[in-house]
Chains A and B, each alone.
Chain A
Amino acid sequence: MSRPSDRVLAFTLFAAALFAATFVDAGIRRDAHEPALQRTERLVEDLRLSDLVLFTEARYTRHLSQADLHSAFQDHPVALEHFPSGSLLPPPALLLDRHEPLDREAAPSD
């Protein structure tokens, strides 16, 4: 009679082996990607690029780090946004840094 616990443990071990295999695979892929990554780094340097092509829907999402203080739909760095990407990432830290003192100054004193 094959034992239930043997079956369960064998399956768990199998799953654990797959889990371990992902780390091996990750190592292999990391090495394989390395040359391409280096070429990308060089391209960024050569073309003086500053941002990732993740959100092409609007100019202030395309070049996140270069965003204006007052783009359309982005009147304030923490304003609710027109594009969903805005809810996935906070506004650039430098905008926030700069806005905080402004906000404080602008707040009516009571």
Chain B
Amino acid sequence: MLELANIRKAFNQGQHNEYWALKGIDLEIPPARVNVLKGPSGSGKTTLLTILGCLARPTEGRVRLKGEDISGLPERFLTEIRRSTFGFIFQQFNLVRGLSAIENIILPGYPTGTPRARLVERAEALLADMQLSHRRDAKVEWLSGGEQQRVAICRALINDPEILVADEPTANLDSKLSAEFLAILRRLAEAGRTVILTSHDPLVVESEVVDRVYSLRDGQLIEVVDTRRAWP
């Protein structure tokens, strides 16, 4: 699905405070699985996630999506790929305050020029799937943490992406909500979506819904463990 070859990423390159966040990573993300990037803070897992999600470009190395090299594509095409292939869930949820749940959900569909009626229809279906239909027109700042999380998931799914990317998704959730969230991820993976998340939460890393854990330290991949079931 996604392959990284010798990925290196530097910040402030060429300056006195040059810093290599990633120091040569090779990995392969299998399709329709739940993948977790694990590591202490500063290990480079979020940086790796931004590269996997096409939010940022590696300084060196190649990113291949379904066998196609995308690391050299210009910004426009990268945005296009990001929009159609990836859905994002952020640690702070990053919902736009003042807009209703449904308006937040359809935001990623705007640049595609999909008719509003179709977007709304899709969003309603997603809300129903997350048992949130009753909160459809509520402003997002009035929603509880769990509800915001589910709205964020809906928003990530509005363009029907193949890959779902989540950065520390359980950081703001209690154990019960985290468990619910993981169950949702499981369902998505079983429906054929690839899930990639970062976490240092043991609840996530040790969860049985996770298929594969990548351990990072100091910008290097130190261990890859297949946790759940045997690979076909």
Contact = CB atoms under 8 A, between A and B. Distances in A.
Interface of A: 1, 3
4 contacts: A1-B102, A1-B120, A1-B137, A3-B116
A48 B116 CA distance: 70
Main secondary structure on B side of the interface with A: helix
B121 to A, nearest CB: 12
A1 B137 CA distance: 10
Interface string B107-146: 0000000001000100000000000000001000000000
A1 B123 CA distance: 13
Contacts of A1: 102, 120, 137
Interface in B131-164: 137
B168 to A, nearest CB: 33
Contacts of B137: 1
Contacts of B116: 3
Contacts of B102: 1
A1 to B, nearest CB: 7
A1 B102 CA distance: 11
A75 to B, nearest CB: 64
Residue with the greatest number of chain A CB neighbours at <10 A, chosen from B102, B116, B137: B116
Nearest to B102: A1
A42 B184 CA distance: 88
Nearest to A4: B103
A58 to B, nearest CB: 59
A73 to B, nearest CB: 60
A26 to B, nearest CB: 39
B103 to A, nearest CB: 9
A3 B100 CA distance: 13
A7 to B, nearest CB: 13
A1 B116 CA distance: 11
A3 B106 CA distance: 13
B105 to A, nearest CB: 13
A9 to B, nearest CB: 13
A41 B60 CA distance: 84
Contacts of B120: 1
A3 B115 CA distance: 12
A1 B117 CA distance: 10
Contacts of A3: 116
Q: In the A-B complex, list the 4 residue pairs whose CB atoms are closest, starting with the nearest.
A: A3-B116, A1-B120, A1-B102, A1-B137
